[in-house]
Amino acid sequence: MEEHNHGHDAHTQVGDSHEMTSYEKRAGAILSLLTEKGVVASDEIWRAIDDMDSRTPALGAKVVARAWVDPEFKAQLLTDTKAALTELDVDIGSLNTVVALENTDKVHNVVVCTLCSCYPRTILGVPPDWYKSLSYRSRVVVDPRGVLREFGLELDPDVEVRVYDSTADIRYLVIPSRPAGTEAATEDELAGLVSRDSMIGVAMASAPGK
């Protein structure tokens, strides 16, 4: 498993209820103070929230599809992900670092955030509830194959499974393997085969016609 220094103090801890955490309360108080002092207008805050809410996995799927059809873009995506996303006019917002991981016949990557719910929202949208659950966050680290099996993904024994821990500073995007039989597919058609779960690493990209 990749080891990273989390720095999760700036993030909301995942709880088992909908009660506001101390971090959420603090964030609300800070926002109120900023608007009262005229540092930022409330409509600017709501525009930012609306923009974030509008993000969906379709943006990440567009990135994956381009990587499948453009070897030069994929090479750049794997070596300098942020620069490649910028070239594709993908706004990653305040993310400091985002790293693309390529799944192959020999290596399968899966992403988790063990301490909270760090996630590349700017390119994948809102994280699924299971990603934030204590069960997934704790179990995928110690038994990744077992967890993947519960998602319906059975990997061959000779495939190496690598678990990457997202942090406040580093987020990950999994580039799933391109499905067979898609040689004649258009880029838009390929994007339609890419799911949110495949870009987290708990699923494969869909086969044509599935």
Q: Given its phi and psi angles, is residue 93 left (phi above 0), alpha (psi -120 to 50 degrees) or beta?
A: left
Q: Does the model's pTM come out above 0.85?
A: no
Which of these is catalytic: 32, 42, 54, 116? 116
In the chain, residues under CATH classification 3.90.330.10 are 55-200
Q: What is the pLDDT of residue 168?
A: 86
Triad 108, 88, 178: Cα angle to 5°: 30
Say whether pLDDT at 6 is over 70.
no
Q: Looking at 17, 42, 54, 118, which residue is catalytic?
A: 118
Q: How confident is the model at residue 4 (pLDDT cuts 50, 70, 90)?
A: very low
Among residues 17, 32, 117, 133, which one is catalytic? 117
Active site residue 118: yes
Q: What pLDDT sits at residue 55?
A: 60
- Predicted pLDDT at 145: 98
Name residue 122's beta-bridge partners.
none
pLDDT at 148 over 70: yes
- Known catalytic membership, residue 177: no
Catalytic, out of 17, 32, 42, 113 = 113
Segment 23-36, tens digit of pLDDT: 567 767 877 887 78
At 3, the pLDDT band (50, 70, 90 cuts) reads very low
Which stretch of DSSP H or E encloses residue 100?
strand 97-102
Determine whether domain 55-200 maps to CATH 3.90.330.10. Answer: yes
For residue 175, the surrounding DSSP H or E stretch is: strand 170-175
Q: Is 42 labeled as catalytic in the residue annotation? A: no
Query: Is residue 131 a contact partner of residue 57, using CB atoms and an 8 Å limit?
Result: no
pLDDT of residue 17: 46
Taking the C-alpha atoms of residue 189 and residue 167, their distance in angstroms, rounded to an integer, is: 32
